[in-house]
Amino acid sequence: MPITAKRLGQNVRMIGNATWLVRLDTNSTGQGPRLAVKDCIDVAGTVTTVGSRAVAAGRTEALVDAPVVENARNQGARIVGKTNLVELCRHADGYNQWTGTPLNPLDQERITGGSSSGSAVAVALDETDVAYGTDTGGSVRVPAACCGIAGLKTTTGRLPTHGVFEFSRTLDTVGPLAREVAGLVTGMRLMEPGFEPAVGGSEPVTAARLRFDRIESAVDEAVDRAVAAAGLRVTDVTIPDWETWIDAANDIMMAEGYAAHRYLMTRPDLLEQRHIDGIEKGGAMTAPHIVACRRVQNAARLQLRALLERYDVLVLPTLLTEPPRVGEPAWTTYLTVPVNLAGLPAVSLPVPRPDRALPASIQVVGGWYEEERLLAVAEAVEAGCR
């Protein structure tokens, strides 16, 4: 019998087989790593449903792979299936009323995070070596944090989003999820042939340790231990404008989401009510307001650029608390969405939390187009936690 939880006035189906929307025969598709693809990314011969009845009703099978899938297939990746997600990629909690909600492998009473929920669960259960996800406000890093795995949000514009269902044209990114940093490197190679992480230097890595009052103390402590174990040279930094950045990112996302999804409002009976509300909210955004949000975006980039000129990386948790329980209010993107606003790359990694069975998650943010260096730092953090 499904577990039912109340969330935003809706009943959420929780079913154990909701990780996958399509399973594929891999006998003749290559000898490389197993690859799962979030079902908002085109895989030739499958219907890209984006976890939505409204989208699926008007779709046919994709004729060609999205470039990031084509690159992987050309390198011998075995595409094992397409994974479940939050409808239209619009929320970071993992819930989907139509396709069901994957169960968190660490604790079935807690959310998987989203929107790349199925990709994170498939990796955590070792049903794939690498999974593709998308990250517009945290949708790779949040499920990675909730499920105790690693995830990489790439620099905006580094990887092509052709063949990827659009939510927010200027914030959408694709990125890999894996159990360890080595798997993220594999994922980047599949997406971008020839990718290689940088070789670590002899000088200590410097880090701006971002501090926020809202973070649960045990989460902060776990991140601090991980940073110390990795030998990073840390300086505490606060950013008073952080919540202003959150508001600007969310409003840009809503406005662009309206432009991308308004055609679906011809069949509102096929959409979750919260997504109808979100599309309508985006339609109410005025042009002057979005211009003001773009000015905030530019200011955020300048402020973060100044920090990254002084420090090699920025460090902060991925989530404010441990993964929320199903049905609890959750502000899952508080620590992630400003990174999307700035367009920076970021890695989320599990780190030990001695006071709890569930790990915490550290977020390491690098400079624009510096994934090679960022993953080298992430490998050092991961090694320090062993």
Collect all residues with Cβ–Cβ distance below 8 Å to 305 and sequence separation of at least 6. none
Q: What's the number of CA atoms in the CB half-sphere (13 Å) around residue 122? A: 32
Collect all residues with Cβ–Cβ distance below 8 Å to 166 and sequence separation of at least 6. 172, 260
Q: Please, what sign has the CA dihedral across residues 121, 126, 127, 129? A: positive
Intra-chain end-to-end CA distance of the chain, in Å: 39
R_g over Cα of the chain: 19
Give the pairing of strands 34-38 and 130-134: parallel
User: Which candidate in 52, 116, 119, 139 is catalytic?
Assistant: 139
User: Which candidate in 52, 82, 115, 117 is catalytic?
Assistant: 115
Active site (annotated) includes residue 348: no
Query: For the purposes of burial, counting CB atoms within 10 Å of the CB of 259, is it exposed (0-12), middle (13-18) or buried (19 or more)?
Result: middle
Phi, psi of 13 (to 5 degrees): -80, 130
Q: What does the chain come to in residues?
A: 386
Helix (H/G/I), strand (E/B), else coil: 67? helix
247, 348 in Cβ contact below 8 A?
A: no
208, 314 in Cβ contact below 8 A?
A: yes
Q: Which amino acid makes up residue 109? A: E
What is the rounded distance in angstroms from the CA atom of residue 163 to the CA atom of residue 222? 38
Active site (annotated) includes residue 153: no
CA 2 and chain centroid, separation: 26
E strand map for the chain: 3-7, 10-14, 20-23, 34-38, 78-83, 130-134, 150-153, 174-178, 206-210, 233-237, 313-317, 346-351, 360-365
Angle between helices 181-191 and 67-74 (to 10 degrees): 100
In the numeric block, which tokens belong to residue 286? 């005025």
Active site (annotated) includes residue 361: no
Collect all residues with Cβ–Cβ distance below 8 Å to 265 and sequence separation of at least 6. 271, 276, 279
Residue positions annotated with a catalytic role: 38, 115, 139
